[in-house]
Structure 1
Amino acid sequence: MLQKLREKTSGVVGAVILALLIVPFALFGLDQYMVGGSANTVARIQAPPTWWKQAPSWWPASMVWRQQEVTVEEFRNRLELVRQQQRAQQGDAFDPVAFESVDNKREILETLIDEKALAMSAEASGIAVGDAMVRDAIQDIEAFQVEGKFDANRYQLTLASQVPPQTPRQFEQTLRDSLRQSLAVQAVGNSSFVTAGEMDRLVRLLGEQRDVDLLMMPAPEADTAPVSDEEAQRWYAANEADFRAPEAVTIEYVQVNADTVPAPAAPDEAALRQRYEEQRERFSQQDERLASHILVRVEDGADDAAVAAAREKAAGIAAQARAPGADFAALARENSDDSGSSASGGDLGWMGRGAMTGSFEDALFAMEPGQVSDPVRTDFGWHVIQLREARSGQTQSFEESREALAAELAETNRDRAVSEFTSELVDRIYRNPSSLTPAASEMGLQVQTLGPFTRESATGIAAIPAVKQAAFSEMLVQDGTVSDPIEVAPGSTVLIRVVEHTPERAIPLAQARARVDAAVRAERTRKAAEARAEALVARVRKGETLQALAQAEGLPAPESVPGVPRGAPLPEPAVTEAIFAAPKPAEGSVTAGKQALSDGRVVLFAVTGVTPGSAATLDDAQREMLREQFSRVSGLDDVEALTRSLRRNLDIEVFEDNF
């Protein structure tokens, strides 16, 4: 059989088959091979090259397309940053489940894609960010400042504490990329301007005032006529969503905290002394050095000649710094390649061990105050170090530390007791996860019941978002098992079990009949009031005045309100909006209208005059402020339009499986 297959695929037939197989491999397989996989990519953004804007997106032309990627790590870092921001802003109202929804993740991803699109545009436009701009931006960041002044030591420590840690060089490159992107945005946003004609029209509209007569109609008489079964059924069917009972649950729970757990014994002297010895470093102030430095940078991958040249330059600077009367700070401002400290004369502040790289730290702690080092090599280049001051650490005695140690150890033992108690409780619950009572009884805990409650009516511990989320979770509702421990306060947890669940459901018409009848009557009342108001407005439009109308209908006398400005709550903002939405009345006539209020009453109005805003009412400062505000809003619109335009020319592929 194999022999026959080989014979059939030889000759002309075999060549044709081979050619047909090569085509898809060439068009698709090679392209995928060259592009690479998407396991570490959330989105891929591609754009044609700047020198061939009409380049097709298929291979081999696609090989010259510019490309940016949103990596999984980058997306997750942004996701975590937004999570922290929203949790800080919303507090207990933050819903972690809603945050993890695909729609929310997609929204965050869209922001990252917009940033990549702007970055690609900035790169294509040749926008560059100089070292001075990066240095100024770093020094303006509050996290790197001490008492309002940039502190190099704080800068180094802050970057080292990041997750993951960053070197100054990495941070500077990230900041440079961000600034380059923002420059493109600023250039577009700041290019917006307001013409004199637009400004005059804006002033006329915003400053416009209207003279108006208002007639407040009395509250309509309530409809008391009976509601037929047909009317009730029709209203119920049309508004079925208004007649639903929300989902409700009843839970049982136990609470574990320091009050429900047997108190541990007070720490003895031996335990306190052991803790003191284990944590002696906490009570010791380490040796510190106040230093300045000058960096002669050596780029990554530099050859031996470049390294030697940099060292020779550093040695020359060190010789100048040792000269009598030399100003080290001035030399640093003139020669240092460290953008973070050069402006402050190379000042690095006070540093303990562990703050700098090994060779730098070894040299610094081997120096005497006032001494200037020979060039010291690190990953950044060659450093010339000046030790300005040194101070020795001190150790606090056990007796001086005893009170603090006792309080800390007591709290630690209490927390450990609570943790161990909770762990034992959980172990017992796992033996019978469908009930809280046996384990709680064995551990001496009281099982409490709460409910039934809905998401909106939850009280007590059920009002805590994490508890509410667990109580209505599909797993607990369906399985009837005990939850994992839920922290409700520092050192306090609860375990809950859903004992009763009532799903959201429609309320039968028979049960909702009283509400349906009330709604039908309220709608009748509203329509009757609207119809009467519309008939009265029609009479005003035919020439009858509000004053004559009120007298003829026995209504309250209308009130004349001259010079109503935009935004005035008269008596509600909706009335003012209706007044300014009405057409400008012709000479010698009025424009009539009506607006329903939130309490069901209706206001009739007649616009009797319109006075446009005047630039004469604004001083120069007010006019300039208005111009800036209008330009800013217009600039934001331009930036959004730019982003949409850029995205139309991009090939964007999203890998939702990597969310």
Structure 2
Amino acid sequence: MFESIRKHSKFVMILLFLLIIPSFIFVGVNQNYFTESSATVAQVDGHDIKQSDWDNAHRAESDRLRAENPGIDAKLLDSPQARYATLEKMVRDQVLAAAVQKLHLSASDAQLVRTLQEIPAIAALKKPDGTLDAQAYRALVGAQGLTPEGFEANLRRDLSMSQVLGGVTGTAFATDAQVRQAVDALYQRREIQVARFDASAYAAKVQPSEADLKTYYDAHTSQFQQPEQASVEYVLLDLASVQAGIALNEEDVRTYYKENAQRLAGPEERRASHILINAAKDAPAADQEKAKAKAEQLLAELRSNPKRFAELAKANSQDGGSAASGGDLGFFGRGAMVKPFEDAVFGMKVGDISDVVHSDFGYHIITLTDIKAPKAPSFEQMRPKLEAELRQQQAQRKFAEMAEAFSNAVYEQSDSLQPVAEKFKLTVRKAEHVTRVPQAGATGPLASQRFLEALFSSDSLNSKRNTDAVELAPNQLAAGRVVEYAAARTLPMQEVSDRLRASYVAQKSAELAKADGEAKLNAWKEKPDTAQLPAAKIVGRTQPEGLPRDVVDAALRAPVAQLPSWTGVDLGAQGYAVLKVSRIVERPADDAQALAQQKQEFTQWSSMAETVAYYELLKKQLKVQIKVARP
């Protein structure tokens, strides 16, 4: 049989080709033929979200956030919480897309056009006749890697998806009775009396033995942990250190003064007058033409008799602020006027009359009446500022040249920072008790999480080699090395004797205060007349009267079906409190404005709650499963 196949191998290959290829056409090529299938991390309506999909989506989301926030810490973007947020967003998008299909929702052409017109970048592309500049529109969406058709398809899809939850969000409402009930409960006040049993008052009663302290120490060793620490050395290359090594050449300073004298003197100002014929940018074309014709008529009169400018401005200018003074606008610098007007004024000579200039306000005729160019200060007056600017510029350039050399040096001579310090004229700084996270009050490199991570990396700790150069901020590099390292350890009982005793006394004092408070609470409930309570206070959430939040919350939670009402509050290390609630105090009536604001806020929160509840219902209906644990 095999001999027959060998003889007719060409025929067999053709036959196999004809049998196998159609199977790929009708069944499809399974990715598993070529790559191992990716794990499923979530399911929505029977559709899988794969690990690879999640990785790609998070990479794209991180790139977007980095582009919008260049200074963001990259570790924040790759944290478990950030990755999980990306997965939740993918699930939400698929839930909304599935709901769009099942509910047969779609965005109309009118909705699409209206939304496009509301996008400022697109609205700015309108021509004077009101039509859209198609070429500019194509270039705008092309910058996002899309065609106009693709951009509009995405927008239409987003509009359809927004209808899923928008139907709930946009229809939420609250009645006055609902708002009143909720707000009254929130701002209700109560008259209470509070007896405090402070833990500190019981400290003298606690006299621990050595055995007590040993038992407490053994049960609470986590309280006496010393975190890992290191003694380190580091060098910092920044603009300040580069500037310190720059010696300025006198000739360079004088040349810099000559090149920048006008800038240092301050901006030039110009004085102009104008005649304005109003024409709003969204006015009909006919009105625009009429205003332009009027301006051109006035310009023709001025060309024949320029001395009539003030006269014609008073009679015809529609700028109410300057017409009465013959169109005079006073002195102004660049940036004070709209661009077409400014460009015209700063391109004229004194006495010139411009052509008709069109701006968003209408049509202008301008005459330049004066130029004020401030006198440049002397070289000696400006020397400190000139030297500072020049030193800064040279430091910027030199830093860029030194950065690579610095990075190479700390790597190539990795057993010491001294050669680097000598080469770049830096100071080797030392620090003790450095921890893996920035300590309170830390400055410079020791306040940088990125630098500390480099110091406490396994390579740095094990080999005691220099870290790579770490960029702390723009124009700021640091490198360090660990000189001595102490791993995290539980401190011996003898080293923490004072802290151990204080912790034990604090715990036992709080326990005694609580026991005494609970005993008094039970006794006063039985015999209210024996209660020893201070004067009553009226408290509420916005009126705590100096009481701890736990006490105020307990007072407002206490049952009021039968008054007075008694309750106790465990204040933890602070002790215990016994409360007597005597009566409910109605809150003062709010004015109409406050009531309206309260109703608006309540409606917003109610709308949010309903929207979240509806989204959770959709997830249940679509059998959403997220197979990754929430961090």
Q: TM-score, normalised by structure 2?
A: 0.62
Q: Percent identity?
A: 20
What does the per-residue CA deviation read over 1:634-659, in whole Å, with 9 as the maximum and x for residues that have no partner?
A: 32223223333333454779899xxx
Q: How many residues align?
A: 499
Among 155, 165, 169, the alignment partner of 1:185 is 165
1:216–1:558: 8 Å Cα contact kept in structure 2? no
Q: Which residue of 1 aligns with 2:186?
A: 206
One-letter amino acid of the counterpart of residue 610, structure 1: I
Q: C-alpha offsets along residues 236-272 of structure 1, whole Å, 9 cap, x if unaligned?
A: 2332222111222222122223454453876989x99
* Aligned counterpart for 1:638 among listed residues 598, 607, 610: 610
Question: Within the alignment, does 1:77 sit opposite 2:60 as a pair?
Answer: yes
| Aligned match for 1:549, one of 528, 531, 544 | 531
How far does the alpha carbon of each residue in 1:151-187 deviate from its partner, in whole angstroms, 9 at most, with x for none?
A: 989x969985997555665544444333332232221
Following the alignment from structure 2 to structure 1, what is the Cα–Cα distance between the partners of residues 389 and 140? 28
1:479 pairs with 2:463: yes
1-structure distance, mates of 2:570, 2:623: 50
Shift of 1:559: 0.9
The counterpart of 1:246, out of the listed 207, 212, 227, is 227
Q: How many Å separate the matches in 2 of 1:169 and 1:473?
A: 50
1:72-471 alignment, distance < 5 Å: 74-82=57-65, 95-138=73-116, 140=118, 160=140, 164=144, 170-194=150-174, 198-199=178-179, 201-217=181-197, 220-223=201-204, 225-261=206-242, 262-263=245-246, 414-454=395-435, 455-457=437-439, 459-461=442-444, 462-471=446-455
Q: Distance in 1 between matches of 2:147 and 2:248?
A: 47
Any conservation in 1 of the 2:54–2:87 contact (CA below 8 Å)? no
Match of 1:606 among 567, 572, 580: 580
Q: Assess if the C-alpha contact under 8 Å between 1:466 and 1:486 holds in 2.
A: yes
Please report how far the alpha carbon of residue 494 of structure 1 lies from its aligned counterpart in structure 2 after TM superposition: 1.7
The equivalent position to 2:483 in structure 1, one of 484, 499, 502, is 499
Provide, for residues 510-556 of structure 1, a one-character-per-residue CA deviation record: whole Å limited to 9, x for no partner.
Answer: 322322221111111111111111111112211323xx432xxxxxx
Residue identity opposite 2:224 in structure 1:
F
Q: Which residue of 2 aligns with 1:385?
A: none
In the alignment, the residues of structure 2 paired with residue 453 and residue 207 of structure 1 have an alpha-carbon distance, to the nearest angstrom, of 48
Instruction: Give the Cα–Cα distance (whole angstroms) in 1 for the partners of residues 536 and 194 of structure 2.
Output: 6
What are the Cα deviations for residues 353-400 of structure 1, in whole angstroms up to 9, with x where unaligned? xxxxxxxxxxxxxxxx99xxxxxxxxxxxxxxxxx99xxxxxxxxxx9
Map of 2:536 onto structure 1? 560
Root-mean-square deviation (CA), in Å?
5.7
Paired residue type of 2:492: P
Inter-partner Cα distance in structure 2 for 1:33 and 1:481: 46
Deviations 1:22-52 (A, max 9, x none): 9xx99xx8584599989999978653xxxxx
Aligned-partner SS, 1:215: strand
Which residue does the alignment assign to 2:524?
A: 540
**How has the CA–CA distance of structure 1 residues 569 and 32 changed in structure 2, closer, same or farther, with 3 Å as cutoff?**
farther
Provide Cα deviations, 1:484-514, integer angstroms capped at 9, x if missing partner.
Answer: 2223444232222222222222222232232
Asked if structure 2 preserves the Cα contact closer than 8 Å seen for 1:232 and 1:516, the reply is yes
* 2:559 paired with 1:575: no
CA positional deviation for 1:126? 3.1
CA 1:44–1:610 in structure 2 vs 1: closer, same or farther (change >3 Å)?
closer
* TM-score (norm. length: structure 1): 0.60
Tell me whether 590-599 or 566-575 shows the greater mean CA deviation: 590-599
Look up the equivalent residue of 2:185 and give its one-letter code. L
Q: SS of the counterpart of 2:204? A: coil
SS of match in other structure, 1:222: helix
Cα distance change, pair 162–504 in 1 and its aligned pair in 2 (3 A):
farther
Tell me if the contact between 1:215 and 1:604 (Cα under 8 Å) persists in the aligned partners. yes
Work out the CA distance in 2 between the residues paired with 1:128 and 1:410.
62
Q: Contact 1:41/1:70 (CA < 8 Å) preserved in 2? A: no
The one-letter amino acid paired with 1:574 is: D
Aligned to 1:318: none
Give the secondary-structure state (helix, strand or coil) at the position aligned to 2:88.
helix
- CA 1:104 to 1:596, structure 2 compared with 1: closer, same or farther past 3 Å? same
CA distance in 1 between partners of 2:561 and 2:29 (Å): 68
- In structure 2, stretches of 5+ residues that fail to align are 7-19, 260-284, 293-337, 341-355, 358-362, 365-375, 377-381
For 2:475 and 2:558, the matched residues in 1 are separated by: 62
